[in-house]
Structure 1
Amino acid sequence: MRIMGLDVGSKTVGVAVSDPLGWTAQGLEIVRIDEATEKFGFERVAELAAQYEVELFVVGLPKNMNNTIGPRAEASQRYGAALEKLTGLPIFYQDERLTTVQAEKMLINEGNVSRQKRKKVIDKLAAVMILQNYLDGHQQ
């Protein structure tokens, strides 16, 4: 079963997909969105889900450090609910506190990636980390 991981932001959605056995996550792409004009990229995400025969979405839930749900987490939940309605596929919300920070540190420390290049891949890497955390916690 393939699973798709999503890092939902206010301007982009990072997309990752699992291998067919559900062991590893690979980054696919970054989908541009615009909350102001209500263009959320659902069509592209649904297209990728169909292409990779995805059976479950794992959406990052950016909880506050005190474990409460704030505006960004609420936006992720709305995104997930709309995607579930559109595709009919189930949604799992994965706590993603600090994944973007971890992704950025990884790109700086291990990849020595410039700030400009980091901006282009950070959301995709965060989606990989969200999905990999889910896969690691749900191994059969």
Structure 2
Amino acid sequence: MRKIGLDVGDRTVGIAVSDPLGITAQGVTTLDRVGIRKDTGKVLDLVREYDCDGIVIGLPLSMNGTDSEQTGKVREFGTMLENKMRSTAMKGIEIIWQDERLTTVQAERVLVEADVSRKKRKQVIDKQAAVLILQSYLDAH
């Protein structure tokens, strides 16, 4: 079964999915945030569309491994997803937390090395970060 990976930010959510064998991650889209209820609804639509059995959410810990202000916001997003899944027929889908320290920096490097323009990098950086989050989970499992 597939996994979906999320890079949850204040303004956008980068989204990636795995192949059916769970070997590679591919970027899907970047959602512009409009509100936590609508945002989580859109994510769950993608979970259904790609027939995912797990949601890998990047957890933005501080460099020393402790929670940051953003960590609380991301955990709130995950809690909203869990609540919505409980109220629908999606109870068997697992929420998986993945350390995402430095993924945005790595994503930026990948895009710079690929000679992607600054304007285009800004549009795809969150999707690329979601790919890195999901791929690091897949590689570990």
Matching residue of 1:102: 106
Matching residue of 2:79: 81
- Amino acid in structure 2 at the alignment position of 1:115: R
Matching residue of 2:125: 122
Aligned-partner Cα distance in 2 for 1:41–1:134: 23
In the TM superposition, what is the alpha-carbon distance from 1:41 to its structure 2 partner? Answer: 1.2
What TM-score comes out, normalization by structure 1 length? 0.92
Q: Which deviations, in whole Å up to 9, do the C-alpha atoms of 1:17-46 show, x marking residues without a partner?
A: 010010000110001114xx5565112111
Matching residue of 1:23: 23
SS in structure 2 at match of 1:6: strand
Q: Work out whether residues 37 and 80 of structure 2, in 8 Å CA contact, stay in contact via their aligned partners in 1.
A: no
| C-alpha spacing 1:58/1:38, structure 2 compared with 1 (3 Å) | closer
| C-alpha spacing 1:25/1:79, structure 2 compared with 1 (3 Å) | same
SS in structure 2 at match of 1:112: coil
Matching residue of 1:72: 70
Matching residue of 2:56: 58
Where structure 1 has 5 or more consecutive residues not aligned to the other structure, the ranges are: none
- Amino acid in structure 1 at the alignment position of 2:120: K
Q: Work out whether residues 56 and 90 of structure 1, in 8 Å CA contact, stay in contact via their aligned partners in 2.
A: yes
Aligned pair count?
135
What TM-score comes out, normalization by structure 2 length? 0.91
Matching residue of 1:42: 40
Aligned-partner Cα distance in 1 for 2:59–2:120: 25
CA RMSD, aligned part only?
1.2
Q: Work out whether residues 33 and 39 of structure 1, in 8 Å CA contact, stay in contact via their aligned partners in 2.
A: no
In the TM superposition, what is the alpha-carbon distance from 1:123 to its structure 2 partner? Answer: 0.3
- State the identity %: 50
